[in-house]
Amino acid sequence: MKYTRLPNTSIRVSKICLGTMTWGRQNSEEEGHEQMDYAFEQGVNFFDTAELYPVPAKKELYAVTEEIIGTWFKKTGNRDKIVLASKITGPADFTKFIRTTGFSKDSIITAVEGSLKRLQTDYIDLYQLHWPERNTNYFGQRGYNTSMPDFWEDNIHQVLETLRDLVQEGKIRHVGLSNETPWGAMRFLEEAKVHQNLPRMLTIQNPYSLLNRLFEVGLSEISIREKIGLLPYSPLGFGVLSGKYLGGQKPRKGRITLFPNYNRYSGENAMAATQKYFDLAQSHGLSLAQMALAFVNTRTFVTSNIIGATTMEQLKENIDSINVELSGEVLEGIESIHNATPNPAP
Protein backbone atom coordinates (compact mmCIF):
# COMPACT_ATOMS: atom_id res chain seq x y z
CA MET A 1 0.00 0.00 0.00
CA LYS A 2 1.03 3.59 -0.56
CA TYR A 3 0.28 6.35 1.90
CA THR A 4 -0.24 10.08 1.95
CA ARG A 5 -1.51 12.53 4.56
CA LEU A 6 -4.71 14.42 5.04
CA PRO A 7 -3.73 17.94 3.90
CA ASN A 8 -2.36 20.20 6.61
CA THR A 9 -2.28 17.38 9.17
CA SER A 10 0.03 14.62 10.33
CA ILE A 11 -2.68 11.99 9.76
CA ARG A 12 -1.33 9.22 7.52
CA VAL A 13 -3.92 7.66 5.20
CA SER A 14 -3.75 4.94 2.60
CA LYS A 15 -3.90 6.10 -1.02
CA ILE A 16 -6.83 3.68 -1.37
CA CYS A 17 -9.88 4.48 0.76
CA LEU A 18 -12.54 1.85 1.38
CA GLY A 19 -15.99 3.03 0.32
CA THR A 20 -18.97 1.48 2.10
CA MET A 21 -22.22 2.66 0.52
CA THR A 22 -23.45 -0.82 -0.52
CA TRP A 23 -23.27 -2.39 2.94
CA GLY A 24 -26.74 -3.03 4.30
CA ARG A 25 -28.41 -3.15 0.91
CA GLN A 26 -26.30 -4.91 -1.72
CA ASN A 27 -24.01 -6.40 0.94
CA SER A 28 -24.80 -8.03 4.27
CA GLU A 29 -23.14 -7.22 7.58
CA GLU A 30 -21.02 -10.35 7.24
CA GLU A 31 -19.85 -9.29 3.78
CA GLY A 32 -19.09 -5.76 5.01
CA HIS A 33 -16.97 -7.22 7.82
CA GLU A 34 -15.17 -9.46 5.34
CA GLN A 35 -14.38 -6.46 3.15
CA MET A 36 -13.04 -4.47 6.10
CA ASP A 37 -10.94 -7.44 7.25
CA TYR A 38 -9.37 -7.85 3.83
CA ALA A 39 -8.82 -4.15 3.19
CA PHE A 40 -7.20 -3.72 6.60
CA GLU A 41 -4.90 -6.69 5.93
CA GLN A 42 -3.83 -5.01 2.67
CA GLY A 43 -2.85 -1.82 4.48
CA VAL A 44 -6.01 0.21 3.86
CA ASN A 45 -6.47 2.37 6.96
CA PHE A 46 -9.01 4.89 5.61
CA PHE A 47 -12.75 4.12 5.56
CA ASP A 48 -15.44 6.45 4.20
CA THR A 49 -19.12 6.27 5.07
CA ALA A 50 -22.17 8.51 5.59
CA GLU A 51 -25.32 8.61 7.64
CA LEU A 52 -27.27 8.29 4.35
CA TYR A 53 -25.74 4.92 3.47
CA PRO A 54 -26.65 2.44 2.12
CA VAL A 55 -27.83 3.98 -1.12
CA PRO A 56 -30.26 4.28 -2.73
CA ALA A 57 -31.59 5.83 0.46
CA LYS A 58 -34.49 4.06 2.12
CA LYS A 59 -36.18 4.87 5.42
CA GLU A 60 -36.05 1.28 6.65
CA LEU A 61 -32.31 1.08 5.99
CA TYR A 62 -31.30 4.52 7.24
CA ALA A 63 -27.68 4.53 8.54
CA VAL A 64 -27.35 0.72 8.53
CA THR A 65 -23.89 1.05 6.96
CA GLU A 66 -22.58 2.99 9.94
CA GLU A 67 -23.99 0.30 12.22
CA ILE A 68 -22.11 -2.39 10.28
CA ILE A 69 -18.85 -0.47 10.68
CA GLY A 70 -19.62 -0.03 14.37
CA THR A 71 -20.05 -3.75 14.97
CA TRP A 72 -16.75 -4.40 13.16
CA PHE A 73 -14.98 -1.91 15.43
CA LYS A 74 -16.48 -3.62 18.48
CA LYS A 75 -15.54 -7.08 17.21
CA THR A 76 -11.98 -6.29 16.15
CA GLY A 77 -10.92 -3.45 18.46
CA ASN A 78 -9.41 -1.71 15.41
CA ARG A 79 -10.98 1.72 15.85
CA ASP A 80 -7.68 3.39 16.73
CA LYS A 81 -6.04 1.89 13.63
CA ILE A 82 -8.57 3.35 11.18
CA VAL A 83 -8.97 6.90 9.88
CA LEU A 84 -12.75 7.19 9.75
CA ALA A 85 -14.71 9.61 7.58
CA SER A 86 -18.46 10.15 7.62
CA LYS A 87 -20.94 12.74 6.33
CA ILE A 88 -24.03 14.67 7.29
CA THR A 89 -26.91 14.41 4.82
CA GLY A 90 -27.88 17.54 2.92
CA PRO A 91 -31.42 18.62 2.14
CA ALA A 92 -33.28 16.82 -0.65
CA ASP A 93 -36.66 15.26 -1.34
CA PHE A 94 -35.19 11.79 -0.87
CA THR A 95 -33.78 12.61 2.61
CA LYS A 96 -36.87 14.05 4.27
CA PHE A 97 -37.38 10.86 6.29
CA ILE A 98 -34.13 11.47 8.19
CA ARG A 99 -34.97 14.71 10.02
CA THR A 100 -35.18 18.36 9.09
CA THR A 101 -32.01 18.11 7.05
CA GLY A 102 -29.68 20.94 6.32
CA PHE A 103 -26.81 22.33 8.31
CA SER A 104 -28.41 24.20 11.17
CA LYS A 105 -26.65 23.91 14.51
CA ASP A 106 -29.20 21.44 15.88
CA SER A 107 -29.11 19.35 12.71
CA ILE A 108 -25.32 19.02 12.70
CA ILE A 109 -25.17 18.14 16.38
CA THR A 110 -27.97 15.57 16.02
CA ALA A 111 -26.27 14.01 13.00
CA VAL A 112 -22.87 13.76 14.69
CA GLU A 113 -24.30 12.27 17.86
CA GLY A 114 -26.24 9.69 15.85
CA SER A 115 -23.20 8.70 13.81
CA LEU A 116 -21.01 8.34 16.89
CA LYS A 117 -23.54 6.02 18.50
CA ARG A 118 -23.96 3.84 15.42
CA LEU A 119 -20.23 3.72 14.71
CA GLN A 120 -19.53 2.79 18.34
CA THR A 121 -16.83 5.41 18.65
CA ASP A 122 -16.38 8.68 20.48
CA TYR A 123 -14.80 10.58 17.57
CA ILE A 124 -14.89 10.84 13.77
CA ASP A 125 -11.60 11.73 12.07
CA LEU A 126 -13.07 13.55 9.06
CA TYR A 127 -16.62 14.89 9.04
CA GLN A 128 -17.97 16.03 5.69
CA LEU A 129 -20.97 17.98 4.39
CA HIS A 130 -22.44 15.44 1.95
CA TRP A 131 -23.71 18.08 -0.52
CA PRO A 132 -24.49 21.81 -0.38
CA GLU A 133 -27.68 23.22 1.09
CA ARG A 134 -27.99 25.70 -1.76
CA ASN A 135 -29.23 24.84 -5.24
CA THR A 136 -26.21 24.18 -7.41
CA ASN A 137 -24.81 21.64 -9.86
CA TYR A 138 -24.26 18.39 -8.01
CA PHE A 139 -25.24 14.71 -8.51
CA GLY A 140 -25.00 14.57 -12.28
CA GLN A 141 -26.10 18.12 -13.09
CA ARG A 142 -23.49 19.68 -15.37
CA GLY A 143 -24.30 23.36 -15.14
CA TYR A 144 -25.63 25.76 -12.53
CA ASN A 145 -29.32 26.28 -13.27
CA THR A 146 -30.00 29.92 -12.45
CA SER A 147 -33.75 29.48 -12.89
CA MET A 148 -34.05 27.12 -9.93
CA PRO A 149 -35.62 28.67 -6.82
CA ASP A 150 -33.09 29.04 -4.04
CA PHE A 151 -34.13 29.97 -0.52
CA TRP A 152 -30.68 29.44 0.96
CA GLU A 153 -29.24 32.20 3.11
CA ASP A 154 -25.49 32.30 3.58
CA ASN A 155 -24.87 30.43 6.84
CA ILE A 156 -21.32 29.24 6.17
CA HIS A 157 -19.91 31.09 9.18
CA GLN A 158 -22.50 29.49 11.43
CA VAL A 159 -21.83 26.01 9.99
CA LEU A 160 -18.11 26.39 10.65
CA GLU A 161 -18.80 27.65 14.18
CA THR A 162 -20.85 24.54 14.93
CA LEU A 163 -18.16 22.29 13.47
CA ARG A 164 -15.51 24.16 15.48
CA ASP A 165 -17.42 23.51 18.70
CA LEU A 166 -17.62 19.80 17.88
CA VAL A 167 -13.87 19.74 17.18
CA GLN A 168 -13.24 21.40 20.54
CA GLU A 169 -15.44 18.79 22.22
CA GLY A 170 -13.34 16.05 20.58
CA LYS A 171 -16.29 14.53 18.70
CA ILE A 172 -14.79 15.27 15.28
CA ARG A 173 -11.16 15.95 14.42
CA HIS A 174 -11.29 17.57 10.98
CA VAL A 175 -13.83 18.68 8.39
CA GLY A 176 -14.35 18.37 4.66
CA LEU A 177 -16.72 19.04 1.77
CA SER A 178 -18.45 16.80 -0.74
CA ASN A 179 -20.17 17.40 -4.09
CA GLU A 180 -18.99 20.99 -3.89
CA THR A 181 -18.31 23.61 -6.56
CA PRO A 182 -15.33 25.97 -6.95
CA TRP A 183 -17.41 28.84 -5.50
CA GLY A 184 -18.48 26.78 -2.50
CA ALA A 185 -15.00 25.46 -1.81
CA MET A 186 -13.44 28.91 -1.90
CA ARG A 187 -16.26 30.40 0.19
CA PHE A 188 -15.57 27.92 3.01
CA LEU A 189 -11.80 28.33 2.70
CA GLU A 190 -11.94 32.13 2.76
CA GLU A 191 -14.22 32.16 5.80
CA ALA A 192 -11.66 30.10 7.71
CA LYS A 193 -8.86 32.41 6.52
CA VAL A 194 -10.64 35.55 7.68
CA HIS A 195 -11.79 33.99 10.96
CA GLN A 196 -8.85 31.89 12.03
CA ASN A 197 -10.69 30.37 14.97
CA LEU A 198 -12.85 28.45 12.51
CA PRO A 199 -11.87 25.00 11.13
CA ARG A 200 -10.49 24.75 7.63
CA MET A 201 -11.93 22.32 5.11
CA LEU A 202 -9.20 19.74 4.40
CA THR A 203 -10.79 17.63 1.68
CA ILE A 204 -13.43 17.65 -1.01
CA GLN A 205 -15.19 14.44 -2.05
CA ASN A 206 -16.39 14.80 -5.64
CA PRO A 207 -16.87 12.44 -8.58
CA TYR A 208 -13.75 11.83 -10.63
CA SER A 209 -13.02 9.13 -13.19
CA LEU A 210 -12.08 8.58 -16.82
CA LEU A 211 -15.71 9.40 -17.64
CA ASN A 212 -15.93 12.53 -15.50
CA ARG A 213 -12.86 14.73 -15.14
CA LEU A 214 -14.81 17.92 -14.49
CA PHE A 215 -12.87 18.37 -11.23
CA GLU A 216 -9.95 19.44 -13.41
CA VAL A 217 -11.91 22.53 -14.48
CA GLY A 218 -11.49 25.01 -11.65
CA LEU A 219 -11.37 22.72 -8.65
CA SER A 220 -8.02 21.08 -9.40
CA GLU A 221 -6.22 24.42 -9.20
CA ILE A 222 -8.01 25.22 -5.96
CA SER A 223 -7.05 21.79 -4.65
CA ILE A 224 -3.35 22.28 -5.39
CA ARG A 225 -2.99 25.94 -4.46
CA GLU A 226 -5.19 25.81 -1.37
CA LYS A 227 -4.11 22.31 -0.28
CA ILE A 228 -7.59 20.83 -0.13
CA GLY A 229 -7.28 17.22 -1.24
CA LEU A 230 -9.68 15.40 -3.53
CA LEU A 231 -11.27 12.18 -2.28
CA PRO A 232 -12.65 10.97 -5.63
CA TYR A 233 -15.78 8.89 -5.51
CA SER A 234 -17.16 6.65 -8.26
CA PRO A 235 -13.72 6.20 -9.85
CA LEU A 236 -15.25 3.27 -11.77
CA GLY A 237 -18.47 5.13 -12.62
CA PHE A 238 -20.88 2.79 -10.77
CA GLY A 239 -18.95 -0.16 -12.21
CA VAL A 240 -19.23 0.98 -15.84
CA LEU A 241 -15.43 1.26 -16.04
CA SER A 242 -15.06 -2.41 -15.18
CA GLY A 243 -16.42 -3.09 -18.67
CA LYS A 244 -19.17 -5.37 -17.35
CA TYR A 245 -21.97 -3.39 -19.03
CA LEU A 246 -20.37 -3.26 -22.49
CA GLY A 247 -22.23 -4.81 -25.38
CA GLY A 248 -25.56 -4.30 -23.66
CA GLN A 249 -24.73 -6.71 -20.84
CA LYS A 250 -26.83 -6.45 -17.68
CA PRO A 251 -25.13 -8.44 -14.91
CA ARG A 252 -27.82 -9.61 -12.51
CA LYS A 253 -26.31 -8.04 -9.39
CA GLY A 254 -24.81 -5.00 -11.11
CA ARG A 255 -25.69 -1.66 -9.57
CA ILE A 256 -27.12 -0.19 -12.76
CA THR A 257 -29.13 -3.38 -13.39
CA LEU A 258 -30.63 -3.20 -9.90
CA PHE A 259 -31.15 0.56 -9.90
CA PRO A 260 -31.67 1.72 -13.52
CA ASN A 261 -32.14 5.36 -12.50
CA TYR A 262 -28.47 5.42 -11.46
CA ASN A 263 -27.56 6.06 -15.09
CA ARG A 264 -25.26 9.07 -15.04
CA TYR A 265 -22.32 6.95 -16.22
CA SER A 266 -24.16 4.71 -18.68
CA GLY A 267 -25.43 7.07 -21.37
CA GLU A 268 -24.62 6.50 -25.03
CA ASN A 269 -21.54 8.75 -25.09
CA ALA A 270 -20.21 7.33 -21.82
CA MET A 271 -20.56 3.76 -23.06
CA ALA A 272 -18.84 4.62 -26.36
CA ALA A 273 -15.93 6.16 -24.46
CA THR A 274 -15.83 3.16 -22.12
CA GLN A 275 -15.42 0.84 -25.10
CA LYS A 276 -12.42 2.88 -26.25
CA TYR A 277 -10.87 2.78 -22.78
CA PHE A 278 -11.52 -0.97 -22.64
CA ASP A 279 -9.76 -1.50 -25.97
CA LEU A 280 -6.80 0.61 -24.80
CA ALA A 281 -6.47 -1.39 -21.59
CA GLN A 282 -6.68 -4.71 -23.43
CA SER A 283 -4.01 -3.65 -25.91
CA HIS A 284 -1.61 -3.10 -23.00
CA GLY A 285 -2.47 -6.23 -21.05
CA LEU A 286 -4.42 -4.36 -18.38
CA SER A 287 -7.89 -4.81 -17.00
CA LEU A 288 -10.07 -1.76 -17.61
CA ALA A 289 -10.88 -1.45 -13.89
CA GLN A 290 -7.23 -1.38 -12.85
CA MET A 291 -6.28 1.06 -15.60
CA ALA A 292 -9.13 3.38 -14.61
CA LEU A 293 -8.22 3.26 -10.92
CA ALA A 294 -4.47 3.55 -11.54
CA PHE A 295 -5.12 6.68 -13.59
CA VAL A 296 -6.96 8.29 -10.68
CA ASN A 297 -4.19 7.23 -8.30
CA THR A 298 -1.66 9.22 -10.36
CA ARG A 299 -3.42 12.60 -10.08
CA THR A 300 -1.45 15.06 -7.95
CA PHE A 301 -4.60 16.54 -6.40
CA VAL A 302 -5.88 13.17 -5.15
CA THR A 303 -5.41 12.45 -1.46
CA SER A 304 -7.06 9.03 -1.44
CA ASN A 305 -9.06 7.12 -4.05
CA ILE A 306 -12.42 5.84 -2.73
CA ILE A 307 -13.03 2.38 -4.11
CA GLY A 308 -16.07 0.21 -3.48
CA ALA A 309 -17.08 -3.33 -4.32
CA THR A 310 -19.90 -5.79 -3.84
CA THR A 311 -17.78 -8.93 -4.24
CA MET A 312 -14.43 -9.91 -2.80
CA GLU A 313 -13.06 -10.47 -6.31
CA GLN A 314 -13.87 -6.85 -7.19
CA LEU A 315 -12.40 -5.61 -3.93
CA LYS A 316 -9.13 -7.46 -4.45
CA GLU A 317 -8.76 -6.17 -8.01
CA ASN A 318 -9.57 -2.60 -6.96
CA ILE A 319 -7.14 -2.51 -4.05
CA ASP A 320 -4.41 -4.08 -6.18
CA SER A 321 -4.66 -1.11 -8.55
CA ILE A 322 -2.25 0.67 -6.21
CA ASN A 323 0.48 -1.59 -7.61
CA VAL A 324 -0.30 -0.79 -11.28
CA GLU A 325 2.05 1.63 -13.00
CA LEU A 326 0.74 3.15 -16.23
CA SER A 327 3.24 3.66 -19.03
CA GLY A 328 3.60 6.90 -20.90
CA GLU A 329 1.99 5.24 -23.90
CA VAL A 330 -1.10 4.29 -21.86
CA LEU A 331 -1.38 7.80 -20.41
CA GLU A 332 -1.11 9.28 -23.90
CA GLY A 333 -3.82 6.92 -25.07
CA ILE A 334 -6.07 8.00 -22.22
CA GLU A 335 -5.59 11.66 -23.10
CA SER A 336 -6.34 10.97 -26.75
CA ILE A 337 -9.66 9.34 -25.87
CA HIS A 338 -10.48 12.08 -23.38
CA ASN A 339 -9.80 14.81 -25.93
CA ALA A 340 -12.07 13.08 -28.44
CA THR A 341 -14.86 12.47 -25.89
CA PRO A 342 -14.33 14.78 -22.92
CA ASN A 343 -16.37 14.12 -19.78
CA PRO A 344 -19.20 12.08 -21.32
CA ALA A 345 -20.73 11.54 -17.86
CA PRO A 346 -21.85 14.55 -15.78
What is the arrangement of strands in the sheet containing 46-48, beginning at the earlier edge strand?
229-230, 201-205, 172-178, 124-129, 83-88, 46-48, 16-19, 305-307
Handedness of CA 110, 81, 62, 175 (dihedral sign): positive
Number of other CB atoms surrounding residue 210 within 10 Å: 29
d(CA 320, CA 290): 8
Q: Identify the active-site residue in 38, 53, 123, 233.
A: 53
0.85 surpassed by pTM = yes
pLDDT for the residue 193: 97
Please list the pLDDT of the chain residue by residue as tens digits (346 residues): 999 999 999 999 999 999 999 999 999 999 999 999 999 999 999 999 999 999 999 999 999 999 999 999 999 999 999 999 999 999 988 898 998 778 999 999 999 999 999 999 999 999 999 999 998 887 887 888 887 778 889 999 999 999 999 999 999 999 999 999 999 999 999 999 999 999 999 999 999 999 999 999 999 999 999 999 999 999 999 999 999 999 999 998 899 999 998 899 999 999 999 999 999 999 999 999 999 999 999 999 999 999 999 999 999 999 999 999 999 999 999 999 999 999 999 9
- pLDDT reported for residue 149: 79
Closest to 1 in 3D by CA, of 36, 42, 35: 42
CB-based burial, 22-46: b 16+ in 10 Å, e otherwise: bbbbbbebebbbebbebbbebebbb
The CATH number for 3-340, chosen from 3.40.50.300, 3.90.1150.10, 3.40.50.720, 3.20.20.100, is 3.20.20.100
* Phi, psi of 175, rounded to the nearest 5 degrees: -130, 155
Q: What confidence score (pLDDT) does residue 67 get?
A: 98
Q: Where are the domains of the chain?
A: 3-340
Single-letter code of the amino acid located at 67: E
- Across-strand partners of 205? 178
- DSSP class of residue 51 equals T
What's the pLDDT at 21?
Answer: 97
Q: Is 233 a catalytic residue?
A: no
**Cα 205 to the chain's mean position, in Å?**
5
Torsion angles phi and psi, residue 333, rounded to 5: -65, -40
